[in-house]
Amino acid sequence: MTLADTKAAVAAAADTTGTASANGTVTAAASAVLKESEVRGGGIQMRNVDKIYPGSSKKALNDFNLDVKPGEMVVLLGGSGCGKSTALRSLAGLEDIQSGRILVGGQDVTGVPVNKRNMAMVFQAYSLFPHMTALQNVEFGLEVHGVGKEERRRVAMGKLELVGLADQAGKYTQQMSGGQQQRVALARALAVDPRVLLLDEPLSALDAKVRVQLRDEIRRIQLDTGTTTIFVTHDQEEALAVADRIGVMNGGRIEQIDAPQTLYQRPATEYVATFIGLTNRLPGSSDGREGVVFGRRLPVLPNSAKGSDVTVLVRPENLTLAAAGDAADGSAVGEHARVEVIHFLGALVRVDTVISSGKWQRWNNGEQLKVTVQLPANELPAGLAVGSDVIIAPRPVAALAV
């Protein structure tokens, strides 16, 4: 399976509407060929960073560690309050940290004030200066750095062209749409040629269509300029679409940081497995290398739990579904289930079922065990309907036992 295929599969499997896949394919492939010479900006190391907000007893960042290679685009992904924005703001110097070190391009910037760090940030809230035109906004950073007027104008116009807004140079903030404003903010950040570009949920305030458009554009521009970029978001579709690597954050630290497909296929923790994409929690056993679910053997991921009574996290597409009648000869191993809902997603079909017989009919607190299966539409057993009796079994694909 090629990188692009995997990425497309991840995007589709992650219950996206299919918008991510096309562009994700292009960008993932393009990033692989990004040459060393095209890389701009420095790498980032954040070491054992702790941050506690005044008046709070909880650590917003708890022994936070992050390594970013020069020219890389890393997305910090997590629910609200997981510390992702705090991590970004600490890196920018907008928040003081209690302990730990931050290095950019090998230099220790831990105590350096914001304006000396040579980073630029795009915010969630519209942050353009309302008293300046788009062009003046983009020129601002250059003016601060003492660039002459002619040069300033030339660079600023270049950046506005890069974001496709050269014709809006003379407009004020109030005359522009939200998407245009964030484009100008991006141009303004890029104009100072930052060592690191920081994007703090830059798309959250925009409507869905513009969000997808601008997200792809941000990735294109990032690859174009080769700027080291940290992108913070709570939207996994967004993360999967733009990232070289995604760091999934929980409780003030990164639980796992990996390429999108690795993250999806080989989650390190239960949190990561359930946060990204859909997953089934199935009862089974595991010896740390191999597990058994519904009487079938399957490999388990390295840091899986061991025991005769564990939960195995199996993706919907890693389950097979066969009509019960076909398996009458007894060759098929698995559990009987009843079809509850069938979702047609175009090329894919998602089938929600409940286990209808055997010892898993009642699970945990006597609840029904619900299992979601996803399979290509052409593999759907003929005559499958709501109420059909089916047999469900896992494919031999590595899963995490917890």
Interface residue list for another protein (CB under 8 A): 92-94, 114-121, 123, 125-131, 140-141, 144-145, 172-175, 185, 188-189, 192, 198
**Taking the complex as a whole, how short is the minimal distance between the CB of residue 318 and another protein, in angstroms?**
44
CA angle 65, 69, 72 (to 5 degrees): 110
Indicate the SS3 state at residue 370: strand
Q: How far apart are CA 144 and CA 74, in angstroms?
A: 28
Q: Which is nearer to another protein, 51 or 188 (CB)?
A: 188
CB 126 within 8 A of CB 179: no
**Taking the complex as a whole, how short is the minimal distance between the CB of residue 144 and another protein, in angstroms?**
4
Residue for token pair 């303004």: 188
Q: Which is nearer to another protein, 142 or 254 (CB)?
A: 142
**Taking the complex as a whole, how short is the minimal distance between the CB of residue 369 and another protein, in angstroms?**
47
**Taking the complex as a whole, how short is the minimal distance between the CB of residue 367 and another protein, in angstroms?**
44
CB 356 within 8 A of CB 337: yes
* Both structure tokens of 168: 């809006």
**Within 10 Å of residue 288's Cβ, how many Cβ atoms?**
14
Q: Which is nearer to another protein, 51 or 336 (CB)?
A: 51
Q: Which is nearer to another protein, 205 or 292 (CB)?
A: 205
Residues in the chain, overall count: 402
**Within 10 Å of residue 185's Cβ, how many Cβ atoms?**
24
**Taking the complex as a whole, how short is the minimal distance between the CB of residue 133 and another protein, in angstroms?**
9
CB 269 within 8 A of CB 292: no
Please list the residues that pair with 40 across neighbouring strands: 227
Q: Which is nearer to another protein, 32 or 125 (CB)?
A: 125
CB 237 within 8 A of CB 16: yes
Q: How far apart are CA 243 and CA 238, in angstroms?
A: 8
**Taking the complex as a whole, how short is the minimal distance between the CB of residue 226 and another protein, in angstroms?**
20
